[in-house]
Amino acid sequence: MREPEAAGRFPTRRAILQSLAAVWPAAIATPLFAAVSEPLAPIPVPAQVPAKEGIAAVAGTRLSYWDTGGSGPAIVLLHPATGSTRIWSYQQPVFAKAGYRVIAYSRRGYGGSDPVPKDNPGTASGDLHALMEYLRAPKFHLVGSAAGGGIAVDYALSHPERLLSLVIACAVGGVVDKDYVERMESLRPKGFDELPAAFRELSPAYRAANPEGTAAWAALERSAITGNRVGQKPVNTITWARLAAMKVPTLVIGGDADLAVPPPILRLYASHIPNADVMAVPEAAHSLYWERPDIFNRTLLDFFAKHRG
């Protein structure tokens, strides 16, 4: 015989079935998972704003460039080893319409610029400085993606007075300290550089969600190199100690799926630069400017706005 308390505490089987019958139709009509939008859905390339295209004869070479002009602060874009002036189609109109003068150029050996000569290769940061003199850009925001990031840091060490801010995106950054070099090498096993560029530099999430964008990126990569691009060395020896003395406002940004520069490396690099901001973007890899241009552009514009000089 059940005690009254127990009878009141435990519902009968019949009561349970009656309760289920009442809610079951609503449960069937309600999906277990709400529809989720795809964050990597293809983003159409926006219409480009007018820009002057030219060849600048500077520093003993000829560099292909484009320049939107205008009276606003300048943003200078340094492409990765897989790119050229042509890769910035997501950034050019967005930055220009935000009131900035936007400049990009192809380094030696890329995008129609002269190749690197073996006898007098010059320096990449020296070429950048000569081009800024040629284009009369006395102060500017400097953005370096991947291989462009090390050049941007080299320039910041030589000419900090010319920079409003510095963005190091998805970049190893040129540091030569032994502990850092060994850690970076451990992330790139033998044969890594021979893997298809799209596999190395685009996240699997992006490749799965956007095969058309992947194909467009690969086409730009295949056409980027137009001559010898090797042989230039940094002007400065980039070390943790040199970074610790930097005073240029700096943002270190990358993708959380970057095989070469994962978030712990971003945080390590940023920790050696006084007051640097750091950000890892989800579901993106080594080509953040292309994979997540929405987040990349918004983050950079917010950062530039804080450092107008």
Question: How do residues 241-297 score in pLDDT, each as one tens digit?
Answer: 999 999 999 999 999 999 999 999 999 999 999 999 999 999 999 999 999 999 999
The verdict on residue 8 lying in a domain is no
The verdict on residue 31 lying in a domain is no
pLDDT at 18: 53
* Domain count for the chain: 1
The verdict on residue 40 lying in a domain is no
Q: Which domain holds residue 90?
A: 52-305
- State yes or no: pLDDT of 33 exceeds 60: no
Q: What is the pTM of this model?
A: 0.88
Mean pLDDT score of the chain, rounded to an integer?
Answer: 91
Q: Give me the phi and psi of 105, to 5 degrees please.
A: -145, 160
Task: Write the CATH number for 226.
Answer: 3.40.50.1820
- State yes or no: pLDDT of 32 exceeds 70: no
The verdict on residue 43 lying in a domain is no
3-state SS class at 304: helix
- State yes or no: pLDDT of 22 exceeds 50: no
The residues with which 58 forms a beta bridge, in sequence order, are: 61
What integer is the mean pLDDT of 150-169? 98
Residue with the two structure tokens 């020896």? 237
The verdict on residue 37 lying in a domain is no
Amino acid at 253: I
224 C-beta neighbours (distance < 10 Å), count: 22
The verdict on residue 6 lying in a domain is no
Q: How far apart are CA 86 and CA 212, in angstroms?
A: 17
- State yes or no: pLDDT of 170 exceeds 90: yes
The verdict on residue 260 lying in a domain is yes
Q: What percent of the chain is predicted at pLDDT more than 90?
A: 86
Note whether 67 and 51 are within 8 A (CB).
Answer: yes
Q: Supply 158's token pair.
A: 């030589």
The verdict on residue 30 lying in a domain is no
